[in-house]
């Protein structure tokens, strides 16, 4: 195995350890020492691969995006129609079952809160949200077109869907016991379908 491969593997281990510590203890307690202990590495080795905790957090944002994308593409493989592709997306983000990752969701919520405090995190978080918004919009445009509806409506609906997902992540992390079981995916999809079916037909 090449040195580059070893470096990438070690960085992935450190980022995964950061995810677990972040989800369990929060950002303030996710110290280099705590991350090193979780990764079963020395603090010096952490510093060899990352200059700071903030740099690990930036790598984690990329890693979480990859985790979310992987689940989506797994479900997408079985989808044949725009409606099924949209359902795959909603299930990938919100449904319980195979591929769900509560730690990733909790870490993402914490990253969102850090984006309010740290300019560098805000830029990376906003870029990830922009990418997510673009994907949702494309899926909604295809679904609207499938029903012969105005695709312009996808812009506003995508914003509502994205806000619903981010809110669901927050509630899943901070108040899961209060919310009905398995409410998110089914109800978000129902909301989307009601909107689409009541949207004016395309001219």
Domain ranges in the chain? Answer: 1-50, 58-198
CATH of 58-198, one of 3.30.460.80, 3.40.50.970, 3.40.50.300, 1.10.357.10: 1.10.357.10
Determine the Cα–Cα distance for residues 68 and 178; give it in Å rounded to an integer. Answer: 25
Q: Residues 111, 105: contact at Cβ < 8 Å?
A: no
CATH of 1-50, one of 1.10.10.60, 1.20.1560.10, 3.10.20.30, 3.30.1390.20: 1.10.10.60
Predicted local distance difference test score (pLDDT) of residue 16: 96
Determine the Cα–Cα distance for residues 165 and 152; give it in Å rounded to an integer. Answer: 21
Tell me if 1-50 shares its fold with 58-198. Answer: no
Predicted local distance difference test score (pLDDT) of residue 2: 55
Both structure tokens of 195: 């909107």
Question: Which residues lie below 8 Å from residue 153, measured CB to CB, with a gap of 6+?
Answer: 140, 144, 195, 199
Residue with tokens 């805000």: 122
Helix (H, G, I), strand (E, B) or coil at 116: helix
Q: Residues 57, 103: contact at Cβ < 8 Å?
A: no
For the chain, residues with pLDDT lower than 50 are 1, 203
Predicted local distance difference test score (pLDDT) of residue 199: 78
Predicted local distance difference test score (pLDDT) of residue 79: 96
The number of residues in the chain equals: 203
Residue with tokens 């919310």: 179
Nearest by Cα to 30 from 50, 51, 57, 48: 57
Is the whole model's pTM more than 0.95, yes or no?
no
Residue with tokens 């560098």: 120
Predicted local distance difference test score (pLDDT) of residue 202: 53
Predicted local distance difference test score (pLDDT) of residue 3: 58
Question: Which residues lie below 8 Å from residue 171, measured CB to CB, with a gap of 6+?
Answer: 178, 179
Predicted local distance difference test score (pLDDT) of residue 1: 46
């Amino acid at each position: 195995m090449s040195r580059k491969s070893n470096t990438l593997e070690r960085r992935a281990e450190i980022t995964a350890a950061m995810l677990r510590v972040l989800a369990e203890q929060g950002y303030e307690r996710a110290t280099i020492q705590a991350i090193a202990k979780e990764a079963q590495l020395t603090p010096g080795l952490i510093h060899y691969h990352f200059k700071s905790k903030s740099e690990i957090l930036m790598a984690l944002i990329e890693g979480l995006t990859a985790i979310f994308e992987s689940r989506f593409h797994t479900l997408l493989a079985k989808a044949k129609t725009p409606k099924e592709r949209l359902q795959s997306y909603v299930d990938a983000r919100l449904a319980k079952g195979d591929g769900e990752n509560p730690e990733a969701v909790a870490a993402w919520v914490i990253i969102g809160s850090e984006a309010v405090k740290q300019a560098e995190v805000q830029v990376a978080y906003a870029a990830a949200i922009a990418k997510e918004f673009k994907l949702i919009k494309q899926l909604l445009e295809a679904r609207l077109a499938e029903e012969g509806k105005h695709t312009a409506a996808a812009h506003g609906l995508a914003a509502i869907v994205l806000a619903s997902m981010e809110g669901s992540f927050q509630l899943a992390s901070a108040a899961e016991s209060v919310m009905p079981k398995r409410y998110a995916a089914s109800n978000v999809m129902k909301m989307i379908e009601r909107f689409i079916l009541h949207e004016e037909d395309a001219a």
